[in-house]
Amino acid sequence: MTPQPSPAAEAPVFDRITAVLHQYFDALYFCDTALLQAVFHPQAVYATADETPFLFRTMAEYVPVVAARQSPASRGEPRRDHIDGIDLAGANTARARVRCSIGDRDFVDFLTLVQVDGQWRIIAKVFQIIERGA
């Protein structure tokens, strides 16, 4: 049986992933495409089954969508960012469940992260849209 690292040994990994997730929240709240591109791997995918037809975007397709938005920050929207959990699959793979809001929509995001060249980045975003008040 392979020994499992102690929680103390994993703390820096969780701290690094948490930092990426907070940058992700900032990128969405401020519509900061440079920061968005820093937290996503260039080959990341973006998908939801809540749109018809099924919505799938590459980063080249997703970044201009964020750039064209009026930012939640500019509208004075309250921040509703929350990290529900982070699971490590190994030394270089993690999954995070996070929540945030934009306009009258709340989002539950499943973010898969990979560590490449010592840097954690989001490689996949699959999300659920929840209309507020619905």
Count how many domains the chain has.
Answer: 1
In a domain, 114, yes or no: yes
Is there a domain that residue 115 lies in? yes
Tell me the residue range of the domain where 89 lies: 7-131
Instruction: Tell whether 119 is covered by a domain.
Output: yes
- CB contact at 8 A, 48 and 126: yes
- Asked if residue 90 belongs to a domain, the reply is yes
* pTM for the whole structure: 0.88
Q: 100 lies in a domain?
A: yes
6 confidence band (pLDDT: 50, 70, 90): very low
Q: What is the pLDDT of residues 8-65, one digit of tens each?
A: 555 699 999 999 999 999 999 999 999 999 999 999 999 999 888 999 999 999 999 9
* Residue 1 falls inside a structural domain: no
CATH of the domain at 28: 3.10.450.50
The answer to whether the beta carbons of residues 43 and 59 sit under 8 Å apart is yes
The 3-state DSSP class for residue 15 equals: helix
pLDDT tens digits for range 83-101: 999 999 999 999 999 999 9
Give domain status of residue 117, yes or no. yes
